[in-house]
Amino acid sequence: MPIIKQKDYKTWKKFDRKRDLQNWLCWFLGTLIFSFCFGLISSKTIWFYVFDSHNEALDLLGRMFPPETNYFLTLIKPIWDTLNIATIGTTIGTLIAIPLAFLSANNTTPSKKFIRPLALFCIVSSRSINSVIWALLLVAVVGPGVLAGIIAIGLRSIGFCGKLLYEAIEEIDENQIEAIEATGANKAQIMTFGIVPQILPAFTSISIYRWDINIREATVVGLVGAGGIGIELDAQIGDLAWAKVSVILLAIVVAVVFSEWITAKIRKAII
Partner 1 sequence: MNDKKVIWKRKPLIKNRLLRIGLILLISTYLLSVFLTTEIDWQRILEGIPRGKNFIFAFFPPDFITRSDEILAGIFESLWMTIVATIVGILISIPVSLGAAKNIAPKFVYFLSRGVITLSRSFQEVILAIFFVKLMGFGPFAGMVTLSLSTIGFFAKLLSEDIEDINKSQAEAIKSTGSNWFQWVNYGVQPQVMPRFIGLSLYRLDINFRESAVIGIVGGGGIGSTLNTAFDRYEFETAAAVLIVIISIVMIVEYTSSHLRKLIK
User: Which residues here bind partner 1, judged by CB under 8 A?
Assistant: 14, 30, 33-34, 37-38, 40-42, 44-46, 49-50, 53, 56-57, 60, 80-81, 84, 87-88, 124-125, 127-130, 132-133, 136-137, 140-143, 145-147, 193, 197, 200, 204, 216-217, 219-220, 223-224, 233, 237, 249, 252-253, 256-257, 260, 269-270
Asked whether the beta carbons of 211 and 259 are under 8 A apart, the reply is yes
- As measured in angstroms, the least distance from the Cβ of 99 to partner 1 is 20
- As measured in angstroms, the least distance from the Cβ of 147 to partner 1 is 5
Residues 6+ apart with CB under 8 A from 31: none
CB nearer partner 1, residue 38 or residue 114? 38
Q: Which DSSP helix (H) or strand (E) runs through 3?
A: strand 3-6
3-state secondary structure string across 77-97: HHHHHHHHHHHHHHHHHHHHH
Question: How many Å separate Cα 2 from the centre of its chain?
Answer: 44
CB nearer partner 1, residue 84 or residue 176? 84
CA distance 270 to 265: 9
- As measured in angstroms, the least distance from the Cβ of 183 to partner 1 is 11
- As measured in angstroms, the least distance from the Cβ of 239 to partner 1 is 14
CB nearer partner 1, residue 72 or residue 193? 193
CB nearer partner 1, residue 68 or residue 205? 205
- In this structure, the strands spanning 9-12 and 3-6 are antiparallel
- As measured in angstroms, the least distance from the Cβ of 179 to partner 1 is 14
CA distance 104 to 123: 9
CB nearer partner 1, residue 56 or residue 178? 56
- As measured in angstroms, the least distance from the Cβ of 57 to partner 1 is 6
Count CB neighbours of 205 within 10 A.
Answer: 17
CB nearer partner 1, residue 34 or residue 114? 34
- As measured in angstroms, the least distance from the Cβ of 240 to partner 1 is 10
Peptide bond into 110 cis (omega under 30): no
CB nearer partner 1, residue 7 or residue 112? 112
Q: Is the dihedral of CA 101, 106, 110, 115 positive or negative?
A: positive
Q: Which DSSP helix (H) or strand (E) runs through 49?
A: helix 47-51
CA distance 253 to 67: 14
